[in-house]
Amino acid sequence: ERAKKLQIPCFVFDKIALNEGGVLEEIQKIKPDLIVLAGFLWMFPAAIIAHYPNKVVNIHPALLPNYGGKGMYGMNVHTAVIAAHEKETGVTIHRVSAEYDSGEIVAQTTVPVLEKDTPEILAARVLDREHEFLVEVISDIVEGKIILGK
């Protein structure tokens, strides 16, 4: 509804449409310069990644390559960071590849892990930084300060 009010092209889809080509068809109609998944949890299809090389990014609530991969999302990440007694965690913006959280790291920023943090408290602090950092990095990509792909 928000996108529609701002006259931004949008569509809703399910896993079937994602995996059977319907999403690729819809994306092709929009002709994007960049696809920002913003915390997308499903495996993104290789066909879309191949069609838009170096143009698909996602955000992860930790400093990859640590605390990434299948099952490492949300509270699972923050619980693991605290259990490992890390002094800092952070946010990673990365290119999307055929494996969870394994694409090229585009940018990272750190967030301190405080002695009395619970996973919930840490998650809130990381999320606040995610919201800021995603806008900063996408702005840098759009302005040409960050070039995707090697």
Catalytic positions are 60
* Residue of 41, 50, 145 lying closest to 100 (CA atoms): 41
Which helix (H) or strand (E) segment is 131 a member of? helix 119-142
**Edge-to-edge strands, sheet with 88-95:** 35-36, 56-60, 88-95, 105-112
Q: Token pair for residue 37?
A: 């998944």
